[in-house]
């Protein structure tokens, strides 16, 4: 392997963003036909490096060579020209376009002034056959499952004759089985001479598929190793810079009475499609029920229906015996709900409000924060100061706008606000998405604290590891239905993965 020539090399790359040194003198090389994994936490600088290689940003310092020649990459056009293709973490696909239109965009086939959709469709079919990437060129991208959309992205790079393919966190949206399938495709591609840069933060995956692994932390390259010469613990150590406890410290705990009871609810999304069908489950005080599932299987709509952001079309939701079906958020909050929303910037915070205002976002209207309709700034400040120290929010003061905080600290503001209230039920939706390991550990321990205090916790997460580490019981969601509910101790990753992929769906 090491005998094959270097196709891409980055030397001394430095990139400064306002307030962050995203890449600090980074060296990286890729050999022909290899899978070179780039491993690091969120914010380590992996995506920045790739955006530099792909021409979306320009480096402040350093040089890039492709096939031994100095490469000047100012725009994606230059990198496409050099045979570099990239599959972005958030797909760069247009949902209302067909597969063929998406693939040809920017490199269109034109006949007599019109788009030549047929010739593109034929080329896609050829690529599909050659690499085992089955896609229908005429399908509308928005109607395809994410796994297939990812294939469209790969086809897009191959349509442009890419010889170097960058995959940015490609498994984040896949089931373990779909990920296996992706790894097969990756090996097929390398066998045909394509070189792959595989960006991820998942240790198991790099050990399974990479030929070489480069670990990044805080904008710097820590080391480049071979999978055969390392193990998970060592990689984790390199990634985080200290010993990482890979498991959550959790005592056995007796669950109490039923707090949340969901009976046969059905929910429609804003396009009026039924995304949750007849779902029933319950969560008891002092237990964590984890809902596992690939993104987009109805989890968002389910949590919206439970928290009052969306009305279910049928079914019943009760909290502590109180019927709260279709009630507005305030009534549900007052009944004892803490909600850590999926999208913290969209739902959880008002970014141009101070931390103090954000920490009273759900309670501003009653004492002590207001009196007869007039806000009480003293009470707001006091509350903020108390929570900032109790939940270790790193900020110069309570007056700083929430938008100025890092992602981890923003999430801590929400967690502080929600968990400091006197609640019976916590609904946490993707509580650690996009956070650094330190914040993840902290938020996990807070969730377990709530459980140990006898609060019912509903945890929704696409990270199977998180679900397995925190849950007492696990429910698996697939295409809007709960396909299984099991004791966490009595199941395996593989079993959950199969359910997440829709295998053995029992139609009762």
Residues of this chain that bind other proteins (CB under 8 A): 54, 56-57, 75-77, 80, 86, 88, 92-97, 101-102, 104-108, 110, 113-115, 156, 307, 309, 328-330, 333, 339, 341, 346-353, 357, 361-362, 364-365, 370, 373-375, 403
**Helix ranges (DSSP H) in 85-175:** 99-104, 117-131, 146-159
Q: How far is the CB of 167 from other proteins (least distance, A)?
A: 14
Scanning the structure block, which residue is given the tokens 């031994």? 68
Report the nearest approach of other proteins to the CB of residue 346 (Å): 5
Quote the least distance from Cβ 409 to other proteins, whole Å. Answer: 17
What does R_g of the chain's alpha carbons equal in angstroms?
24
Q: Please identify which residue in the block is written with the tokens 């491993």.
A: 39
Least distance to other proteins from the beta carbon of 77, Å?
4
Q: How many CA atoms lie within 13 A of 182 on its CB side?
A: 31
Q: How far is the CB of 395 from other proteins (least distance, A)?
A: 18
Shortest Cβ 361–other proteins spacing (Å): 5
Q: What stretch of H or E contains 414?
A: helix 407-419
Q: Which of 27/397 has CB closer to other proteins? A: 397
As a whole number of angstroms, the distance between CA 48 and CA 214 comes to: 15
Place of tokens 């990482």: 244
Nearer to other proteins, 11 or 347 (CB): 347
Residue closer to other proteins, measured from CB, 319 or 476? 319
Which CB atom, from 369 or from 478, has the smaller least distance to other proteins?
A: 369
Pair 448, 477: CB distance under 8 Å:
no
CB of 171 closer than 8 Å to CB of 181: no
Q: Min. distance of Cβ 276 from other proteins in angstroms?
A: 19
Distances (CA, A) of 138 to 98, 117, 128, 157, 160: 6, 9, 13, 18, 19
**Would you say 89 or 177 has its CB closer to other proteins?**
89
Task: Please state the closest distance from residue 435 (CB atom) to other proteins, in A.
Answer: 19
Residue 324: φ, ψ to 5°: -125, 20
Output 110 or 505, the one with its CB closest to other proteins.
110
Q: What is the 3-state secondary structure (H, E, C) of 204-218?
A: HHHHHHCCEEEEEEC
Closer to other proteins by Cβ: residue 343 or 392: 343
- Give all strands (DSSP E) within 321-383, no chain letters: 322-323, 337-340, 370-371, 374-375
Q: How far is the CB of 402 from other proteins (least distance, A)?
A: 10
Q: Of 105 and 208, which has the nearer Cβ to other proteins?
A: 105
Measure the CA–CA gap between 507 and 485, rounded to whole angstroms.
14
Preceding amide of 368 cis, omega within 30: yes
Pick 261 or 347: Cβ nearer other proteins: 347
Q: Which residues contact 116 (CB under 8 A, 6 or more apart)?
A: 109, 110
């Amino acid at each position: 392997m090491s005998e094959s020539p270097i196709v891409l090399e980055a030397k001394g790359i430095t990139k400064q963003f306002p307030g962050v040194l995203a890449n600090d003198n980074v060296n990286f090389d890729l050999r022909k036909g290899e899978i070179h994994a780039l491993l690091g936490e969120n914010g380590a600088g992996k995506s920045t490096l790739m955006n530099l290689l792909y021409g979306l940003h320009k480096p402040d310092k350093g040089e890039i060579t492709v096939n031994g020649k100095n490469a000047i990459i100012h725009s994606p056009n230059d990198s496409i020209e050099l045979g570099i293709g990239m599959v972005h973490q958030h797909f760069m696909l247009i949902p209302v376009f067909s597969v063929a239109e998406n693939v040809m965009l920017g490199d269109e086939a034109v006949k007599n002034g019109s788009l030549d959709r047929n010739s593109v469709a034929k080329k896609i079919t050829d690529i599909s056959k050659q690499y085992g990437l089955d896609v229908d060129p005429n399908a509308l991208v928005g109607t395809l499952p994410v796994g297939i959309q990812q294939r469209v992205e790969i086809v897009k790079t191959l349509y442009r004759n890419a010889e170097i393919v960058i995959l940015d966190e490609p498994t984040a949206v896949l089931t373990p089985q779909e990920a296996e399938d992706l790894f097969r495709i990756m090996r097929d591609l390398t066998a045909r001479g394509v070189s792959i840069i595989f960006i991820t933060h998942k240790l198991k995956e790099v050990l399974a598929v990479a030929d070489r692994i480069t670990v990044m932390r805080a904008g710097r390259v820590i080391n480049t190793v071979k999978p055969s010469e390392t193990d998970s613990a060592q990689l984790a150590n390199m990634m985080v810079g200290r010993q990482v406890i890979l498991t959550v410290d959790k005592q056995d705990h007796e669950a109490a009475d039923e707090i949340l009871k969901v009976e046969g609810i059905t929910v429609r999304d804003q396009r009026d499609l039924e995304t949750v069908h007849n779902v029933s489950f319950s969560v008891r005080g002092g237990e964590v029920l984890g809902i596992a599932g690939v993104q987009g299987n109805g989890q968002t709509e389910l949590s919206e229906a439970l928290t009052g952001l969306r009305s279910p079309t049928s079914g019943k939701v009760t909290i502590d015996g109180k019927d709260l079906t279709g009630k507005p958020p305030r009534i549900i909050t007052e009944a004892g709900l803490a909600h850590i929303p999926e999208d913290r910037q969209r739902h959880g915070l008002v970014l141009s409000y101070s931390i103090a205002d954000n920490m009273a976002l759900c309670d501003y209207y009653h004492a002590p924060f207001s009196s007869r309709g007039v806000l009480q700034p003293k009470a707001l400040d006091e509350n903020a100061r108390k929570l900032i120290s109790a939940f270790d929010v790193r900020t110069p003061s309570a007056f700083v706008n929430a938008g100025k905080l890092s992602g981890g600290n923003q999430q801590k503001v929400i967690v502080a606000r929600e968990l400091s209230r006197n609640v019976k039920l916590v609904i946490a939706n993707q509580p650690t998405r996009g956070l650094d390991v330190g914040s993840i550990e902290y938020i996990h321990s807070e969730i377990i604290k709530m459980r140990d205090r006898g609060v019912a916790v509903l945890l929704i997460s696409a990270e199977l590891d998180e679900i397995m580490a925190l849950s007492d019981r696990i429910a698996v969601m697939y295409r809007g239905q709960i396909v299984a509910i099991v004791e966490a101790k009595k199941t395996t990753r593989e079993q959950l993965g199969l359910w997440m992929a829709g295998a053995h769906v029992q139609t009762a």
